[in-house]
Amino acid sequence: MTDRYWEVNLPGPAEGEEAAMVTAAVEQVGGRQLADWAVRLLTGRARPGDAGDPDIAMIRGEADTLDPELALDPHLPRLLGARVLVHHWHPRAADAVMAGLTDESAAVRRTCCRIVTAHAAEGLASASSTVEALLSDQDPRVRSAAAQALGEVGRESTASTLQGLLMDPDSVLASAAEDALDRLAERFARPDLRSEPEY
Domain locations in the chain?
2-193
What string of DSSP letters covers 7-39? HHHSSSS-HHHHHHHHHHHHHHH-HHHHHHHHH
CA distances, 5 to each of 10, 44, 91, 111 (Å): 8, 27, 26, 13
Identity of residue 132: E
Q: Under CATH, which architecture does the 2-193 domain have? A: Alpha Horseshoe (1.25)
What's the whole-number mean pLDDT along residues 134-141?
Answer: 97
Q: Are 71 and 79 in contact (CB under 8 A)?
A: no
List the one residue out of 170, 161, 174, 167 whose CA is nearest residue 133.
161
The pLDDT of residue 6 is above 70: no
Apex CA 73: angle with CA 107 and CA 68, to 5°? 110
In the structure, what pLDDT confidence band is assigned to residue 199 with cuts at 50, 70 and 90?
Answer: very low
Task: Give the pLDDT band (50/70/90) at residue 8.
Answer: very low
